[in-house]
Structure 1
Amino acid sequence: MSYHIELFHSLLSDFLQGESALLTTENDVLMVRGKNPVSYGTLVTAANTVSKYLKLAEGDIALLNDPYSGGTTLDEITFIMAVSEDLIWVNRLPLNKNLSFGKSIEEEGLRIPPTPLRQKGQLNEMILGAMGAHPACPPQFMEWIKTQCASMIVSAQKLHDTIEGTGLSVTGELIEDYLQLSKKLAVQKISERASGETRVDVVLDSGELLRLNLEIQDGRVMMDFGGTSAAKTLHLTESAAYGTCFKAISAFYGFDQYANTGSFSILQVTKPAGCWLMAKYPASTMKGMTCGVAALQTAIDLALSHIHSKNERALDSHAPLMVQMKHDSSQIFLSLEGGAGATGEVDGQNAHIEGLSIETLERNFPVHVHRMDRRNSQGGKGKHNGGRGMIFKVEALDEMQLSWLTDMTLHRPRIPKNCSHGDASEVTLEQAGSTKSLPVLGQQKILKGEILSFCSGSGGGHGRPEQKVIAE
């Protein structure tokens, strides 16, 4: 790898933080970064959609949250900025996370199609005002948007200054060499491992079938979802499905830091028209972007485990347990991650939660936290145990409204004989001395004195547990 290409890759990596991407105006994807798998398809679609309908000059900014234009869920805002005459920056940020189970996307909140926000150095106050006047507009929306725009302008200038300071000339030849090298790296990483083909079926609780036919050959990956059923309650956009597929493959083979047009070319995804992986407006996408993505990750992990049996690993608990509690004008939102699957060599990684203060929570919301730590998993046992999920047990000190959403693949797929399933996510309610299990998603009123337990899933175990020898 030449010095100039290494420097270019380093500049891209340093500039792109969170869920973000950088593209050329010629539609070459230079890099995509993010933890959310859907970012690897949706951010690119967002840039292409904006470029199709809007002409952005240098410094101009557009925004959207519409899943059918390259967004994810309506509580995440995607900004698209022309950082130069040749480069488009896409940056996605969360705003007031919200669980909404509408029958259509229009019922989930304020839907923003590709909209010009900043032109010729000026924010469009009229458009901002119209958004702010919408009944579903989140509080402090306009102030938050202005803050993010100001931050992006500063970051874009830093990128210009950094490129100028290094003396790097970002030419078409450099970009072409970088993309070709990324493709070569992806092909090499895949070719170093076993080839083969397999089929995996995952049945969701909501009734949908996910069928994946995976073939790996000559450094290429073909995913055919023929046989996948039409949507019943889950809807995932085409770009989100592609992004999930790419992220799973690139992370498995170790080239996810080179996510661009070059490495994208090694993956071919085929989906039948009308299946739930090709959602059409105005279908609601909340469950698809969460539970649907988790099911897709599970299917790909399982298929890769079949082909690469020497590097077999148990299944991760991909679906987080999302909880939203509302009391008067205040609300809290929690996302409890699940544990990771074990391998033939090590235990799976335990789940953890960051940035949550029990003291602050109890001070600002009418709840008493009984417990927040790792759950005592019964499943996921083996020579190497799966990572444990989280448990959050809380008592309501006043009446409140609860919404929750978790794994919708409780019908467990068939797994390799050396692996075991981890525990599924659970939500239970204690009232009047009795405990009952709640379904995988729902909304209901919680009364004062009732106790809720939220348990995220644990990872699967690997290998047979070692037998303890008891001395006579």
Structure 2
Amino acid sequence: MIDPVTLAVIQAGLQQVCDEMDLTFSRAAFSPVIAEADDRSDGIYSATDGSLIAQGAKGLPVFVGVMQFSTRTILERIAAGVTAAPDEGDIYIVNDPYLGGTHLMDVRFAMPVWRGGRIFCWLSNTGHWPDTGGAVPGGFSASAISAEQEGLRIPPVKLFKKGVLDQEIYQIICSNIRVSEQRIGDVKAQASALLVGAERLSALLDRYGDATVTEAISEMRRLAARQMRAMIGLIPEGAYRSTAIVDSDGVVNEPLTIALALTKAGDGLRFDFSGSSKPCIGPMNSVRATTLSAVYLAMRHIFPEVPISAGAFEPLEVVGIEGTFLDAHYPRPVSGCAAEVSQRIAEAVFAALVQAVPDHVTAAPAGTSGNFGLGGHDPEKGRDYVMYQISGGGYGGFAGGDGIANGCSTIGISKAPPVEIMEQTYPVLYRRYALHEGSGGAGEHRGGFGLDYEIELLRGEARASFVMDHGRVGPQGALGGKDGAVNRVEVIRDGVVMVPEHLSKAQDIELKPGDRVRVRTPGGGGYGPPSRRDPALVAQDVRLGRYTAEEAARLWPGSANPLGALNERVGAGPLSE
């Protein structure tokens, strides 16, 4: 049996392998969405069933489950003779959402690691490509009604054969996507990350031996399952229900419902989504891999102490998604699944479990990635471009205090690329980049604030598309807290302000120089009754301009007069921030 010290060292070593892959990927990539926003992830997966062994700490949490499903699909297709068997140096590419994926823009590479003529494990990574073809630049087609309108769908094929890029397959890909001349940088970065991982992993195996590392991996999985069951033990026995709302599917302007019945029995949790809406026409369907991954990442948020391993998922049973929009099959469009629907699923999990373990769960966060695609031609640089903007939002209040402002999305660690990089790369000017003041939901602990930005097109013509959410209903408060502010999208053309029909979704909006787009992302939900908030904190928010005095008096009616409290505190000296 492996000793605890060796186990801890090997576990940290495997984590380090993944972290170095993440770092290599971001530093070598060309696209700002990967290089600056870190919209990527790397991991190590089992050679027998594709299950997760380790993932980078700075990788997107939504990929924690997804890549094990896509790796498993590759293994199954190889076994069935559908996909060619691997040789040393081969790297597979796949982005098919229905084969254990997310949306088409999340492109996965997978490479076997060979030891003594056999495959020891697989390394895999995912990077968000700025464009994979389809009806609109960036791939976020808000009104797509089939997968073909969203872009190029790639089944598992060898992009690198014995270490050499297959130019024929690469040219097929490039012939179906925009600004293809820029993709080679991302492709090489993605492949290089896997090669670095293979080198670091081989060094670890050489040091401790294949048998010892294999034993450590098995023990890591067993301990992760045991730790998750221990955390589940904190949840009282019983059933908990919640709902989360998706604004619309982008085609039919009606909300979609995620209905969750969560049951705690013994040391397991059962997540039943059978009451959710039927499959939808537009792109807000979710594929099975993304739906399960959304549940897994929600539990990671609630119990971060549990190590990342397939074992952590063993006590979690997800049922009832068949026949709903949470289990999409070809050809239903899915561009909103990973970035938006997955966050509504996580929100439903939070809303259910905050009833059971309030000290471990927050009110709902902003829960949207704010997907904004802009494509056009820059006459000054003489080239086409596809710009992809993601943005943060407010986190929900929690038992220990207020939610943070402008945090990354629920599903990831991706941050908005720096304004300076975006202005250097694309023909745009950021007229505004600030907090969405007043957007945090009222509560004993208020929600954090969203982001307020405004972009002006400087030259050429362009087409804008949005796939966002929470434009109809804000992030829900918890335990008596109020909802956060909704997502607001405005397009200003010739001085006229236009709000999309679907509020948070639209596509193919023509822009010319001087036109602007303004987005105000949601604030987090409030936690606990607003009447229990410390009046001094209300006064502080007013003094700092986070709310007007009138807003504060309306949102916290049970609190002392915010202006009176403010005057008293100001007379006593400056408030701490």
Q: TM-score, normalised by structure 1?
A: 0.91
Range with greater deviation from structure 2 (49-58 or 356-365): 356-365
Amino acid at match of 1:25: A
Aligned to 1:346: 401
Answer yes or no: is the 8 Å Cα contact 1:420–1:460 preserved in 2: yes
Alignment pair present for 1:117 and 2:159: yes
Alignment pair present for 1:250 and 2:311: no
Alignment deviations for residues 103-152 of structure 1 (CA, whole Å, 9 cap, x no partner): 22222222110002233344333322333333668333345424432442
Amino acid at match of 1:448: P
Alignment deviations for residues 162-213 of structure 1 (CA, whole Å, 9 cap, x no partner): 3323557435544332221221111112213433321112233223221100
SS at structure 2 position matched to 1:275:
coil
Aligned to 1:30: 53
Aligned to 2:128: 94
In structure 1, C-alpha distance between the alignment counterparts of 2:128 and 2:93, rounded to whole Å: 13
Aligned to 1:289: 338
Shift of 1:48: 1.1
5+ long unaligned stretches in structure 2 = 23-40, 79-84, 132-137, 249-254, 378-383, 409-414, 536-558, 569-577
Answer yes or no: is the 8 Å Cα contact 2:364–2:475 preserved in 1: no
Answer yes or no: is the 8 Å Cα contact 1:70–1:239 preserved in 2: yes
Q: How does 1:32-431 map to 2 (within 5 A)?
A: 32-33=55-56, 35-54=59-78, 55-84=85-114, 85-96=119-130, 98-101=138-141, 102-134=144-176, 138-142=180-184, 144-166=186-208, 169-170=211-212, 172-206=214-248, 207-232=255-280, 233=282, 234-260=284-310, 262-309=311-358, 311=360, 313-328=362-377, 329-351=384-406, 356-398=417-459, 399-408=461-470, 410-411=472-473, 415-431=477-493
Equivalent residue in structure 2 for 1:456, among 517, 521, 524: 521
Alignment deviations for residues 374-412 of structure 1 (CA, whole Å, 9 cap, x no partner): 111244123322111111113333443211121157345
SS at structure 2 position matched to 1:336:
coil
Shift of 1:373: 1.4
Answer yes or no: is the 8 Å Cα contact 1:405–1:440 preserved in 2: yes
Range with greater deviation from structure 2 (435-444 or 338-347): 435-444
Amino acid at match of 1:145: V
SS at structure 2 position matched to 1:274:
coil
In structure 2, C-alpha distance between the alignment counterparts of 1:4 and 1:334, rounded to whole Å: 43
CA distance 1:3–1:338, shift in 2 (3 Å): same
SS at structure 2 position matched to 1:257:
coil
Alignment pair present for 1:441 and 2:532: no
Answer yes or no: is the 8 Å Cα contact 2:470–2:522 preserved in 1: no
Shift of 1:281: 0.8
In structure 1, C-alpha distance between the alignment counterparts of 2:181 and 2:190, rounded to whole Å: 15
In structure 2, C-alpha distance between the alignment counterparts of 1:90 and 1:243, rounded to whole Å: 16
In structure 1, C-alpha distance between the alignment counterparts of 2:193 and 2:439, rounded to whole Å: 47
CA distance 1:29–1:205, shift in 2 (3 Å): closer
Amino acid at match of 1:405: V
In structure 1, C-alpha distance between the alignment counterparts of 2:338 and 2:416, rounded to whole Å: 24
Amino acid at match of 1:435: V
Alignment deviations for residues 327-356 of structure 1 (CA, whole Å, 9 cap, x no partner): 311232210111101113211011158574
Shift of 1:326: 2.4
Equivalenced residue count is 471
SS at structure 1 position matched to 2:463:
strand
In structure 2, C-alpha distance between the alignment counterparts of 1:139 and 1:109, rounded to whole Å: 17
Amino acid at match of 1:445: E
Answer yes or no: is the 8 Å Cα contact 2:94–2:154 preserved in 1: yes
Alignment deviations for residues 242-297 of structure 1 (CA, whole Å, 9 cap, x no partner): 1110111133122453322x222110000242211111012111122222112111
In structure 2, C-alpha distance between the alignment counterparts of 1:363 and 1:409, rounded to whole Å: 30
CA distance 1:162–1:205, shift in 2 (3 Å): same
Amino acid at match of 1:406: M
Equivalent residue in structure 1 for 2:11, among 9, 18, 23: 9
Q: TM-score, normalised by structure 2?
A: 0.75
In structure 1, C-alpha distance between the alignment counterparts of 2:417 and 2:247, rounded to whole Å: 31
Range with greater deviation from structure 2 (6-15 or 118-127): 118-127
Alignment deviations for residues 450-471 of structure 1 (CA, whole Å, 9 cap, x no partner): 3321111111122414323549
Shift of 1:440: 1.0
Answer yes or no: is the 8 Å Cα contact 2:45–2:123 preserved in 1: yes
SS at structure 2 position matched to 1:307:
coil
SS at structure 2 position matched to 1:468:
coil
In structure 2, C-alpha distance between the alignment counterparts of 1:137 and 1:239, rounded to whole Å: 29
In structure 2, C-alpha distance between the alignment counterparts of 1:243 and 1:458, rounded to whole Å: 24
Shift of 1:434: 4.6
CA distance 1:132–1:447, shift in 2 (3 Å): closer
In structure 1, C-alpha distance between the alignment counterparts of 2:122 and 2:385, rounded to whole Å: 37
Answer yes or no: is the 8 Å Cα contact 1:37–1:248 preserved in 2: no
CA RMSD of aligned residues (A): 2.7
SS at structure 1 position matched to 2:271:
strand
Amino acid at match of 1:81: M
In structure 1, C-alpha distance between the alignment counterparts of 2:321 and 2:439, rounded to whole Å: 39
In structure 2, C-alpha distance between the alignment counterparts of 1:448 and 1:118, rounded to whole Å: 42
CA distance 1:2–1:58, shift in 2 (3 Å): farther
SS at structure 1 position matched to 2:262:
strand
Answer yes or no: is the 8 Å Cα contact 1:222–1:267 preserved in 2: yes
5+ long unaligned stretches in structure 1 = none
